[in-house]
A and B are shown apart, each in its own frame.
Chain A
Amino acid sequence: MGFSFIKSKEKSIVALKKTWESLCEMLPKFLTLLLFIMIMLSYIDEVFISKALGKSTGIGGIIVSGLLGSITLMPTAVAYPLAAGLLKLGAGYAQVTMFITTLTTVGIVTLKIEKDYLGLKVTLLRNIFSFLLAFVNAVIIAFIFT
């Protein structure tokens, strides 16, 4: 930003103006969404996640892990230690991989934001295929690690 100001003051002011407009546009939507997620997540705790990923095995377990990963929003700094802990507790590699992959690639709660930028069709395509490929990846990883 400082660099931009040295090069051209006018262009930088335009950039700042645009930043401000986008922020005003986005912030209310964004906050609404985040608070909504926080309310929802207060009911999904680590115990619940470890139950879903740990005890259930097989394809059903992987799909449940994927759904959990899709609806959850969690910083990866939290997710990876959690995943490592779950593996120690006896969760399957496939389930944990599915959870992590869908956590980062599929976002059900952020669908609305994504739709605003990419359109409904592409958004759905991207999320559905991300989910399917996450499943394939999870199975391959489980195959390698067990």
Chain B
Amino acid sequence: MKNKSFIKKYLALFIVVALFIVFMLINRDSKNSVFTVWDLVAMVLLLPPTYLLVSLLDVWVERKTMIKLIGNDSGLRGVLLSFFMGSIGIGPLYMAFPIMAILLKKGASVRNAFIFLGAWATTKLTQIFFEAGSLGLKYTMIRLLLNSISIILISELINWTVSKETEWTINKSNDKKLQSITEEM
């Protein structure tokens, strides 16, 4: 049984790796890809720190603290803090999903969690430097302003949608798993 799930888990990976090797052999001399093996290595290297951060947050930060900082009644300060936390993140958007899940689990409001996600995507500090360098400061500032408005609109919308549902729990299966680990302690 365990063996079977192992095969199932890695089957897709093996197929894609095989495909990848075939494609590498076919396209050996064309260097037209905008995406290189080094980007892949860089992305995989980002995974352990991300999960380490998530786990550390999980272990150290009390639910009470999180509720106070970015919970439902945290007001403007919570919004600003969420923006700030998202902006100092490093890595592509999908790195933010696990972090966001742990924020929600620890009692962050839905609105603030999506502000965090939006900020991670568009107002990241590292990104702003690249952007201002290549597209100019004026462009960067205008885009930042417009995107900030978008982020707030999206988080309001999702907050409104979710609030109509009685029980919206993020990441049901994983959450159960996290809980079982906590109970083990």
Looking at A11, A45, A117, A129, which has the most chain B CB atoms within 10 Å of its CB?
A117
Q: Does A56 contact B (CB under 8 A)?
A: no
Name the segment of B49-57, B67-75, B77-85 touching the other chain.
Answer: B49-57
Q: Is B51's CB under 8 angstroms from A38's CB?
A: no
The residue on A at minimum CB distance from B36 is: A38
Closest beta carbon of chain B to A15's beta carbon, Å? 4
Interface residues of A in 121-142 (CB under 8 A from B): 121-122, 125-126, 129-130, 133-134, 136-137, 140-141
CA distance A100 to B58 in the complex (A): 33
Q: Does B25 contact A (CB under 8 A)?
A: no
Q: Is B27's CB under 8 angstroms from A4's CB?
A: no
Q: Is A117's CB under 8 angstroms from B101's CB?
A: yes
Which residues on B sit within 8 Å (CB–CB) of A87?
A: 135
Which residues on A sit within 8 Å (CB–CB) of B16?
A: 31-32, 35-36, 39
Main secondary structure of the interface of B (DSSP, over half): helix
Closest beta carbon of chain A to B171's beta carbon, Å? 5
Q: Does A62 contact B (CB under 8 A)?
A: no
Q: Does B59 contact A (CB under 8 A)?
A: yes
Closest beta carbon of chain A to B80's beta carbon, Å? 20
Q: Does A118 contact B (CB under 8 A)?
A: yes
Q: Is A104's CB under 8 angstroms from B32's CB?
A: no
A sample of 5 cross-chain residue pairs with beta-carbon separation below 8 angstroms, ordered by A number, consists of A31-B16, A35-B20, A77-B130, A129-B154, A133-B150
B residues with a Cβ closer than 8 A to A are 9-10, 12-13, 16-17, 19-20, 23, 27, 30, 32-35, 39-40, 42-44, 47-48, 51-52, 54-56, 58-60, 92-94, 97-98, 100-101, 114, 117-118, 121-122, 124, 126-127, 130-131, 133-135, 139, 142-143, 146-147, 150, 153-154, 157-158, 161-162, 168, 170-171, 173-174, 177-178, 181, 185
